[in-house]
């Protein structure tokens, strides 16, 4: 067993998390901000190489694999960990700060892992740490966090079984491009897709994330689903099934977000919607589509975190999260409102924002591949994004009617985090070259053609027209919408308690029957014992006759044999 030395970029975050268990005051703030920056520097110092342990239980483990794709995701994860820490500086929960850094470290570990076992280990670290992030909000988050954990443990088990099968079939744990052509690889794919929020198990995102604290959901939105996008990019580019899974996610997210009332649940559904675009791009599988998926993941992490910082600020200042209880907040929370609008414009892919220079790569790739249906559905999905997140979130929270609430903008660290990410959303949109220079795959792209700008503006602005014309139909109601999680939150529970009750009754009847039978036998024996033929006293002559008769039977039997 030999090991080559290259420190994994996740290390400063794990060390930071350990420090955060005891650090207080300025030291705590310093660790929350510096650990991600050190990690960012280490991401960029990772050379194009594989480093790890050879001959561990007969397999080669690659703890750090450096290439453009891993550095791409590593960069945005480190930036996200920094901004998430900045936003959460005034978060009182010590547990959440620790868990958030472990979680970010796990995500960095996954994107630099070069084999399936290392991937699995960091994958599970993320599952556990993110559950703690959810739990640290207390209250109703306990149950939701537990459901969240169960789903992710299921995903982990599928990944583990698949990896074991892959290792047995190929003799190697290396994690490279594979096609879903064996049962083991399908299991790996299923494990990855569970973390992406793919159907039928998408409900864990809107179920668990909005139960976390105002700052917890900001970091939760970034890592789990985007590491899933990363591993799909790494392992299954061009797997056609992903196109359809992705498109389902796009429309699932839109429909459920349209029906939703809670602002953070709206944004949770919109995570599924956005990851759907990326998954579809991975399924298309050309270099342009893969670049689109990777860069959209980058842009998405930033604007989705920004949207959730804006929503988190509203929650922090008002304690409310439901559209039916909010409205008109732009008067007293101008910076939060503007940040929310910048994030909303970016997620809708308006020109001059980050979404514009990333998402269109995916639909253009569909066009180039002559995938007509896919192209039309992606265009309809883009229109729907503006509808369900781009206008709906800022409109119902910051405008709409006057709710009478007059909260001020949040504390300075939260404002700084929002300004930073607003700036990034616009910087990437205005100067896409900053991003394109480092694209992980070969294809190049030019977003700012007159054709593209005008058609995109038409698509979005007329979607906006539809929103305001249909405003009556979009009025918020204090409702939730049932999803597949009904199966394990209601039907499964009903079935389990029904089975338990039936088993209980059956057992009671069985036990009563058995007891009756035993009683009968015992009473029979006692009758025999007291009055039966064997219980009577016999005289010795009779006994001798019996013995002679038995001897005779024995002799006859022996003779016949």
Partner 1 sequence: MSSLHPFTVRTALILCVVCFVILALTVIAEFFIYRHGQFGIDESFCFNAWYGFVACVALVAVSRLIGLVLKRPDTYYDR
Residues that bind partner 1 (CB under 8 A): 251, 254-255, 258-259, 261-262, 322, 367-368, 370, 372, 375, 379-380, 383-384, 386-388, 450-451, 454-467, 470, 473-474, 477-483, 489-490
For the bound state, the minimum distance from the C-beta of residue 460 to partner 1, rounded and expressed in Å, comes to 7
Q: Which of 168/449 has CB closer to partner 1?
A: 449
Q: Tokens at residue 425, please?
A: 């959303």
Q: Which of 201/460 has CB closer to partner 1?
A: 460
Q: Which of 479/523 has CB closer to partner 1?
A: 479
Q: How does DSSP assign 178-223, residue by residue?
A: --S-SHHHHHHHHHHHHHHT-TTTTTHHHHHGGGS-TTHHHHHHHH
Is the bond preceding 219 in cis, omega lying within 30 degrees of 0?
no
Tell me how far apart the alpha carbons of residues 89 and 29 are, in angstroms, rounded to a whole number. 6
For the bound state, the minimum distance from the C-beta of residue 390 to partner 1, rounded and expressed in Å, comes to 11
For the bound state, the minimum distance from the C-beta of residue 262 to partner 1, rounded and expressed in Å, comes to 8
| Cα angle 314, 462, 357; round to 5 | 70
Q: Which of 238/367 has CB closer to partner 1?
A: 367
Q: Which of 102/378 has CB closer to partner 1?
A: 378
For the bound state, the minimum distance from the C-beta of residue 359 to partner 1, rounded and expressed in Å, comes to 14
Q: Which of 65/388 has CB closer to partner 1?
A: 388
For the bound state, the minimum distance from the C-beta of residue 160 to partner 1, rounded and expressed in Å, comes to 31
Tell me how far apart the alpha carbons of residues 289 and 365 are, in angstroms, rounded to a whole number. 5
| 3-class DSSP state of 438 | coil
Exposed/middle/buried for residue 372 (C-beta within 10 Å: 0-12, 13-18, 19+) = exposed
For the bound state, the minimum distance from the C-beta of residue 93 to partner 1, rounded and expressed in Å, comes to 24
The dihedral built from the CA positions of residue 179, 182, 185 and 190, taken in this order, carries a sign that is: positive
Nearest to 468 by CA among 383, 389, 391: 391
Nearest to 116 by CA among 73, 75, 173, 37: 173
For the bound state, the minimum distance from the C-beta of residue 456 to partner 1, rounded and expressed in Å, comes to 7
Q: Which of 6/289 has CB closer to partner 1?
A: 289
β-bridge partners, 61: 53
Contact in structure between 278 and 300 (CB atoms under 8 Å):
yes
């Amino acid at each position: 067993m030999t090991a080559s030395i290259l420190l994994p970029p996740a290390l400063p975050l794990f060390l930071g998390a350990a420090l955060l268990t005891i650090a207080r005051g300025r030291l705590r703030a310093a660790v929350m901000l510096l650990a991600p920056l050190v990690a960012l520097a280490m991401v960029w110092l990772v050379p194009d190489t594989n480093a790890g342990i050879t001959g561990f239980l007969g397999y080669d483990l690659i703890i750090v694999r450096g290439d453009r794709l891993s550095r791409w995701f590593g960069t945005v994860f480190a930036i996200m960990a920094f901004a998430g820490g900045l936003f959460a500086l005034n978060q009182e929960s010590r547990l959440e700060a620790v868990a958030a850094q472990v979680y970010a470290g796990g995500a960095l570990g996954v994107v630099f892992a070069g084999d399936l076992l290392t991937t699995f280990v960091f994958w599970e670290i993320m599952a556990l740490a993110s559950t703690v992030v959810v739990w640290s909000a207390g209250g109703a988050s306990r149950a939701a966090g537990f459901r969240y954990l169960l789903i992710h443990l299921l995903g982990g088990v599928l990944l583990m079984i698949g990896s074991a099968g892959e290792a047995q079939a190929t003799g190697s744990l290396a994690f490279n491009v594979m096609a879903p052509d064996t049962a083991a690889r399908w299991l790996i794919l299923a494990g990855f897709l569970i973390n992406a929020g793919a159907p039928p198990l998408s409900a864990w995102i809107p179920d668990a994330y909005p139960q976390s604290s105002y700052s917890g959901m900001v970091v939760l939105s970034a890592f789990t689903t985007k590491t899933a996008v990363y591993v799909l990019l790494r392992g299954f580019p061009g797997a056609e099934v992903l196109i359809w899974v992705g498109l389902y996610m796009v429309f699932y997210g839109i429909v459920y977000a349209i029906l939703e009332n809670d602002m953070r649940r709206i944004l949770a559904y919109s995570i599924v919607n956005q990851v759907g675009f990326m998954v579809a791009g991975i399924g298309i599988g050309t270099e342009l589509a893969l670049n689109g998926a990777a860069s959209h993941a980058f842009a998405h992490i930033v604007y989705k975190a920004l949207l959730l910082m804006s929503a988190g600020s509203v929650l922090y200042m008002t304690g409310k999260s439901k559209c039916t209880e909010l409205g008109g907040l732009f008067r007293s929370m101008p910076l939060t409102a503007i940040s929310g609008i910048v994030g909303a414009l970016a997620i809708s892919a308006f020109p001059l924002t980050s979404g514009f220079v990333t998402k269109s790569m995916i639909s253009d790739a569909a066009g180039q591949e002559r995938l007509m249906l896919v192209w039309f559905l992606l265009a309809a999905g883009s229109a729907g994004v503006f509808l369900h997140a781009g206008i709906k979130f800022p409109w119902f929270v910051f405008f709409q009617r006057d709710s009478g609430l007059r909260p001020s903008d949040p504390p300075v660290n939260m404002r700084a985090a929002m300004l930073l990410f607003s700036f990034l959303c616009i910087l990437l949109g205005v100067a896409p070259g900053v991003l394109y220079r480092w694209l992980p795959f070969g294809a190049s792209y030019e977003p700012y053609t007159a054709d593209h700008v005008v058609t995109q503006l038409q698509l979005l602005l007329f979607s906006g027209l539809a929103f305001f014309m249909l405003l009556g139909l979009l009025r918020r109601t204090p409702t939730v919408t049932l999803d597949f999680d009904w199966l394990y939150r209601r039907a499964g529970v009903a079935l389990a308690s029904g089975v338990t009750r039936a088993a209980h009754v059956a057992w009671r009847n069985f036990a009563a029957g058995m007891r009756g039978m035993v009683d009968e036998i015992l009473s029979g024996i006692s009758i025999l014992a007291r009055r039966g033929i064997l219980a009577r006293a016999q005289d010795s002559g009779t006994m001798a006759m019996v013995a002679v008769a038995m001897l005779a039977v024995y002799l006859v039997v022996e003779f016949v044999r």
